Amino acid sequence: MDRLKIGIIFGGSSEEHPVSVKSAREVAKNLDTGTYEPYWIGITRSGSWKLCDSPDGDWENGARPVVLSPDRSVHGLLVLEQGRCEVIRLDLVLPVLHGRFGEDGAVQGLLELSGIPYAGCDIQSSALCMDKSLTYTVARSAGITTPNFWVVAADEKVDSGRLPYPVFVKPARSGSSFGVSEVAGEEDLPRALEAARQYDSKVLIEEAVAGSEIGCAILGEPSAPIAGEVDRVALSHGFFRIHQEDSPETGSENSTFIVPADISEESRRLVQESAKTVYRALGCQGLARVDMFLKDDGQVVLNEVNTLPGLTSYSRYPRMMAAAGLPLSDVIDRLVSMTLHQKKR
Is 314 part of the annotated catalytic residue set?
yes
* pLDDT value, residue 211: 93
What is the reported pLDDT for 288? 97
User: Does the active-site annotation cover 138?
Assistant: no
Catalytic residue from among 11, 16, 22, 36: 22
Measured distance CA(250)–CA(237) in Å, rounded: 18
Which pLDDT value is given to residue 254? 65
Pair type for strands 255-258 and 286-294: unpaired
Q: Is the pLDDT at 209 greater than 90, yes or no? A: yes
Report the mean per-residue pLDDT for the chain.
92
235 SS3 class: strand
Q: What is the CB neighbour count within 10 angstroms for residue 79?
A: 16
Domains annotated for the chain, with CATH where assigned, are 4-118 (3.40.50.20), 127-146+210-344 (3.30.470.20), 149-207 (3.30.1490.20)
For 277-322, how does the pLDDT look when each residue is reduced to its tens digit (9 = 90+)? Answer: 999 999 999 999 999 999 999 999 999 999 999 999 989 999 999 9
Strand partners, 38: 6
Question: Does the annotation mark 301 as catalytic?
Answer: no
DSSP letters for 274-305:
HHHHHHHHTT--EEEEEEEEE-TTS-EEEEEE
228, 323 contact by CB (below 8 A): yes
33-37, 130-134, 153-157, 190-194, range with the lowest pLDDT:
153-157
Choosing from 249, 266, 344, 345, the catalytic residue is 249
Q: Is 289 a catalytic residue?
A: yes
Rounded Cα–Cα distance for residues 327 and 313 (Å) = 12
Burial 253-282 (b: 16+ CB within 10 A, else e): eebebebebebeeebbebbbebbbbbbbbb
Structural contact between residues 6 and 38, judged by C-beta atoms closer than 8 angstroms: yes
**Averaged pLDDT for residues 29-54:** 96
Measured in degrees and rounded to the nearest 5, phi and psi for residue 320 equal -70, -40
Cis amide linkage into residue 248, ω under 30° from 0: no
- Yes or no: say if 44 and 74 are a contact pair by the CB < 8 Å rule: no
Mean pLDDT of 89-101: 95
| Predicted confidence (pLDDT) per residue in 221-271, tens digit | 988 999 999 999 987 656 555 555 556 665 556 678 999 999 999 999 999
- Parallel, antiparallel or unpaired: strands 181-183 and 167-171: antiparallel
Residue 236's pLDDT is: 64
206 pairs with which residues across the strands? Answer: 149, 168
DSSP conformation class of 249: G
Is 132 one of the catalytic residues? Answer: no
- Indicate which residue of 232, 289, 316, 334 is catalytic: 289
Q: Catalytic annotation on 243?
A: yes
**pLDDT: is 177 or 84 the higher one?**
84
Q: In what order do the strands lie in the sheet with 286-294?
A: 255-258, 226-235, 212-220, 286-294, 300-306
Mean local confidence (pLDDT), 90-94: 98
pLDDT over 70 for what percent of the chain?
93
Active-site option among 314, 317, 319, 336 = 314
Residue 240's pLDDT is 56
Please compute Rg for the chain using Cα positions: 20
Clarify whether 29 is annotated catalytic.
no
98 is catalytic: yes
pLDDT tens digits for range 125-168: 999 999 999 999 999 999 999 999 999 998 888 888 899 999 99
C-alpha torsion sign, points 140, 146, 147, 153: negative
Among 25, 50, 98, 100, the one annotated catalytic: 98
